[in-house]
């Protein structure tokens, strides 16, 4: 299969590219800055693209083999929730998606597979509600969550694709990402107690399980075929923040567990240039789609996942 990945220089894109190349597939990464030094796997081809000039690169979707599009493009969400940043987060996703859709419509036939990136942030802060793919999408939600994810998903609906799966990803635990460092740092420094109330849910997934779900969306995971539509990529065992921090203390080898009150986190988020709601809100998300298809997670429990990545 020829797999064209937008957003392929990010952590998930690199992990998926490495997996696909190692199993004999052709991978093309669309990048706005071709030639820049980045840690892409050997064998991956870089192609420069401008979402505002689709005809200049649309040819990359042509091949005598099966063709898949993986859309992971978008600005990193770890930033202050200013109006300008929220607009940039939304536009970077929507414009890239609209460009890929336009390129697909230039083909004589549909692309075989379309993996549309998304996140469980679509649902906003849901308290103790249990979320699956059948849960109605919220009418309203935080601008930096629902306000970004909904138009991102909507922009892909006209894609010229025979099969389209939207993966709503929870927090991905990966040793190669800043997200895990952000989680571990307070635990290492002794501030590994609950954040805020400690009751907020933390839905997560080990990167190895995310790759297997992505492969299934591309029709490349033996014995697992995913239906068209949304699939939640999250471990079947979400944890509350207090349990998460306890697990982080264990892998960090730190017994001291000073809690972080909400007001402290909100102050600290200013110099760190991050959004405090990333830690203060949460969602209990699991996949009924994967459960019905018998998907067996390699890392269903938070402690074994962290031990694998950090240990």
Which pLDDT does position 38 carry in this prediction? 65
Distance between CA atoms of residues 126 and 226, nearest Å = 26
In angstroms, the Cα distances linking 152 to 57, 95, 142, 172, 195 are: 21, 9, 15, 19, 30
Going by C-alpha positions, the residue among 274, 267, 301, 265 that lies closest to residue 191 is 265
Which pLDDT does position 62 carry in this prediction? 94
* CATH code where residue 48 lies: 3.40.50.720
Which pLDDT does position 116 carry in this prediction? 98
Q: Does some domain include residue 311?
A: no
Which pLDDT does position 76 carry in this prediction? 86
To 10 degrees, what angle do helices 241-252 and 178-188 make? 80
To 10 degrees, what angle do helices 146-154 and 83-105 make? 10
Task: Note down pLDDT in tens along the chain; length 311 residues.
Answer: 999 999 988 889 999 999 999 999 999 999 988 777 567 888 999 999 999 999 999 999 999 999 999 999 999 888 899 999 999 999 999 999 999 999 999 999 999 999 999 999 999 999 999 999 999 998 888 999 999 999 999 999 999 999 999 999 999 999 977 778 888 988 999 999 999 999 999 999 999 999 999 999 999 999 899 999 999 999 999 999 999 999 999 999 999 999 999 999 999 889 988 899 989 999 999 999 999 999 999 999 999 999 999 96
Which pLDDT does position 217 carry in this prediction? 97
Instruction: Tell me phi and psi for residue 27, to 5 degrees.
Output: -120, 130
The residue range of the domain holding 149 is 2-172+203-235+284-298
To 10 degrees, what angle do helices 241-252 and 302-310 make? 30
Q: Does some domain include residue 270?
A: no
Which residues are CB-contacts of 135 (< 8 A; sequence separation ≥ 6)?
Answer: 123, 129
For 101, how many CA atoms within 13 A lie in the half-sphere containing its CB?
16
Q: Does some domain include residue 193?
A: no
Q: Does some domain include residue 264?
A: no
The pTM is what? 0.94
Q: How many domains does the chain have?
A: 1
Q: Does some domain include residue 266?
A: no
Q: Does some domain include residue 214?
A: yes
User: Buried b vs exposed e over 128-137: b needs ≥16 C-beta within 10 Å?
Assistant: eeebbbeeee
Which pLDDT does position 88 carry in this prediction? 95
Pairing, β 67-71 against β 113-119 = parallel
Q: Does some domain include residue 167?
A: yes
Which pLDDT does position 37 carry in this prediction? 58
For 164, how many CA atoms within 13 A lie in the half-sphere containing its CB?
19
Q: Does some domain include residue 243?
A: no
């Amino acid at each position: 299969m020829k797999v064209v990945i937008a957003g392929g220089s990010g952590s998930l894109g690199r992990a998926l590219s490495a997996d696909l190349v190692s199993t004999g597939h052709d991978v093309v990464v669309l990048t706005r800055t071709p030639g820049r030094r980045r840690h892409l796997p050997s064998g991956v081809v870089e192609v420069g693209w401008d979402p505002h000039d689709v005809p200049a690169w649309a040819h990359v979707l042509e091949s005598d083999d099966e063709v898949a599009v993986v859309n992971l493009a978008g600005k990193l969400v770890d930033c202050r929730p200013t109006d300008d940043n929220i607009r940039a987060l939304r536009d970077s996703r929507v414009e890239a998606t609209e460009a890929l859709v336009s390129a697909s419509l230039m083909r004589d036939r549909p692309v075989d597979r379309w993996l549309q990136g998304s996140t469980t942030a679509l649902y906003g802060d849901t308290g103790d509600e249990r979320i699956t793919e059948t849960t109605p999408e919220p009418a309203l939600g935080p601008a930096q969550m629902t306000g970004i994810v909904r138009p991102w998903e909507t922009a892909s609906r006209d894609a010229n694709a025979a099969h389209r799966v939207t993966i709503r990803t929870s927090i991905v635990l990966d040793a190669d990402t800043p997200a895990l460092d952000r989680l571990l740092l307070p635990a290492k420094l002794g501030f590994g107690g609950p954040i805020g109330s400690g009751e907020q849910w933390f839905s997560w997934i080990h990167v190895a399980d995310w790759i297997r779900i992505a492969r299934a969306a591309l029709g490349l995971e033996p014995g697992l075929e995913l239906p068209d539509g949304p699939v939640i990529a999250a471990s079947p065992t979400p944890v509350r923040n207090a349990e998460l921090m306890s697990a982080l203390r264990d892998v960090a080898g730190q017994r001291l567990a000073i809690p972080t009150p909400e007001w402290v986190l909100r102050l600290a988020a200013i110099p760190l240039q991050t959004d405090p709601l990333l830690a203060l809100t949460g969602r209990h998300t699991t996949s009924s789609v994967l459960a019905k298809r018998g998907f067996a997670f390699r890392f269903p429990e938070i402690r074994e996942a962290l031990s694998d990545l950090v240990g």
